[in-house]
Each structure stands twice: as structure tokens, then as C-alpha cells.
């Protein structure tokens, strides 16, 4: 049985774990020392698949890492982010992807793996952010843009409602770029005097709570 690994662990088992996390797309050095970067990568992976988030690699998380390496899953792939949400098996009462409940409200100044996971999901929706783990101005603007697109209160804060909206729209395959393209095509059609094709936009999935 694989050894349980946590922050402070050292050795070949840690190095092997870090190598696998690297294969999954996480940016860290395989130095055999389980430090903050390794813990953050483990926590983000646990969040993505709806596991208990503790940064500890026990039997369950070891199995998750090995399985996803085998599946070719990569945290930087939009398709992988969606598949991880689907694997959680949680849906809203309207049948859209819900994902695990939001652990804490995220807003300007927030930091950590939860922010990095938020940023990767925003990237999946075609919004212009980077997975820095810091809720910066670009992240706040992306959240505001999404909220505005779906008629939410525009405050740039990710509470339960916006969290559920993000997951639902990943499930629907909505992207900011796709909406921009539809708007451009509509404008061109109208300029030519032809009726514009009606854009199909899934209804907002409000999950209740601030955000």
C-alpha cells in the first residue's frame, strides 16, 4: 500500500507523486520535498474531483492521481475540467452540473488553490485569466463579465450562486468567445438585411446565496 504523504514528507514517494502531478499539468518541481506547492496542487486536484480537501495523499487521493494520469487528464485542458465536474455526479434540480459546494466566498484578495481552481474554470468558459491562485483584477473582471452576461448582480464576488453558474455553464459548453462570435455574426447578418439567427443561450442557473 502506498505511503500516506502530507506537507513535510520527503523521499522517493514524494518525488514520484510530484512527477505524476506534473503529468496532470500542475507546475511544481519534483524535488522529493512535500512543500506548499505540492500541497496546493493536491488540494486543487481534490477540489476538481469533489474529494475532501485536506492536501493529504492517502489511499483515495493516490488512486485518483494514478487513475487520472492513466486517463490523460490535464488541469490545463477545458475538456478535463468539465470531465472532472461530471465525475462528481452532482447536479442542480434543473439537471445542470453543480459540482461540490463552494467552501468559502472568493473575492478580491483571496488566495490559494480554491482561487486557482476558480481561474481554471473561468478559463474553460473562455474568460481571460491565468491560474495564479491570487484573486487579482483580471479575475474580478472575468467574474463581473460572466455575472453581467447572465443577469446576475455584478459585484465580482464568487458566492454560492456564481459558483453554481460557472459549473452549470461549463456543463452547457457556454464560452465568452462563442457569445462574441454569435454577436458578430448577428451584426453582419443584420447589416446585409438578413434575419439574424437567434442565439441559443441556456437560462441562468442561480444557486442561491450571494454572488
> How confident is the model over 106-151, as pLDDT tens digits?
999 999 999 999 999 999 999 999 999 999 999 999 999 999 999 9
The residue out of 46, 75, 104 marking a domain boundary is 75
How far CA 72 is from CA of 80, 99, 121, 153, in Å, comes to 9, 21, 18, 38
Instruction: Report the CATH number at residue 57.
Output: 1.10.101.10
pTM: 0.84
Task: Confirm whether 211 is domain-assigned.
Answer: no
On whether both 61 and 161 belong to a single domain, the answer is no
Same domain, 150 and 69: no
Tell which residue, 164, 182, 146, 175, has the closest CA to residue 98: 164
Q: Is residue 204 part of a domain?
A: no
Provide, rounded to the nearest whole percent, the portion of the chain with pLDDT above 90: 81
Q: 193 falls in which pLDDT band (50, 70, 90)? A: low
**CA-based Rg of the chain, rounded to a whole angstrom?**
19
Yes or no: say if 5 and 34 are a contact pair by the CB < 8 Å rule: yes
Assign 187 a pLDDT band (cuts: 50, 70, 90): very low
Task: Let me know if residue 198 belongs to a domain.
Answer: no
Cα 74 from Cα 131, distance rounded (Å): 14
Q: Are residues 152 and 59 in the same domain?
A: no
Residues 139, 165, single domain; the answer is: yes
pLDDT score of 202 = 53
Where residue 25 falls among pLDDT bands split at 50, 70, 90?
very high
Q: Is residue 209 part of a domain?
A: no
Residue 18 shares a structural domain with residue 68: yes
Nearest-angstrom CA–CA distance, 46 and 36: 15
Q: What is the DSSP letter of 156?
A: S
Provide the domain limits for residue 30.
Answer: 12-75
Domain count, the chain: 2
pLDDT of 197 strictly over 50: no
**Would residue 96 count as lying in a domain?**
yes
CA distance 123 to 37: 21
Q: Are residues 90 and 140 in the same domain?
A: yes
Question: Has residue 201 been placed in a domain?
Answer: no
* pLDDT tens string 71-83: 999 999 999 999 9
Same domain, 168 and 119: yes
- At residue 82, the pLDDT reads 96
Same-domain pairing of 103 and 28? no
Positive or negative CA dihedral for 7, 13, 19, 20? negative
Report if residue 207 sits inside a domain: no
Amino acid at each position: 500500500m502506498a505511503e500516506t504523504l502530507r506537507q513535510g514528507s520527503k523521499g522517493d514517494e514524494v518525488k514520484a507523486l510530484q512527477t505524476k502531478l506534473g503529468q496532470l499539468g500542475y507546475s511544481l518541481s519534483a524535488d522529493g520535498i512535500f512543500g506548499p506547492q505540492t500541497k496546493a496542487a493536491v488540494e486543487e486536484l481534490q477540489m476538481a474531483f469533489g474529494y475532501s480537501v485536506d492536501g493529504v495523499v492517502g489511499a483515495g487521493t493516490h488512486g485518483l492521481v494514478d487513475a487520472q494520469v492513466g486517463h490523460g487528464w490535464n488541469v490545463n485542458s477545458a475538456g478535463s475540467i468539465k470531465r472532472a465536474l461530471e465525475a462528481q455526479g452532482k447536479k442542480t434540480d434543473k439537471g445542470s452540473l453543480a459540482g461540490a459546494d463552494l467552501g468559502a466566498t472568493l473575492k478580491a484578495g483571496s488566495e490559494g488553490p480554491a482561487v486557482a481552481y476558480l481561474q481554471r474554470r473561468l478559463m474553460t468558459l473562455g474568460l481571460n485569466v491565468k491560474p495564479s491562485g491570487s484573486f487579482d483584477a483580471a479575475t474580478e473582471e472575468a467574474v463581473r463579465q460572466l455575472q453581467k452576461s447572465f443577469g446576475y448582480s455584478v459585484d465580482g464576488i464568487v458566492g454560492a450562486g456564481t459558483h453554481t453558474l460557472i459549473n452549470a455553464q461549463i456543463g452547457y459548453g457556454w464560452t465568452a468567445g462563442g457569445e462574441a462570435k454569435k454577436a458578430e455574426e448577428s451584426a453582419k447578418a443584420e447589416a446585409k438585411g438578413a434575419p439574424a439567427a437567434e442565439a441559443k443561450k441556456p437560462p441562468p442557473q442561480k444557486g442561491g446565496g450571494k454572488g
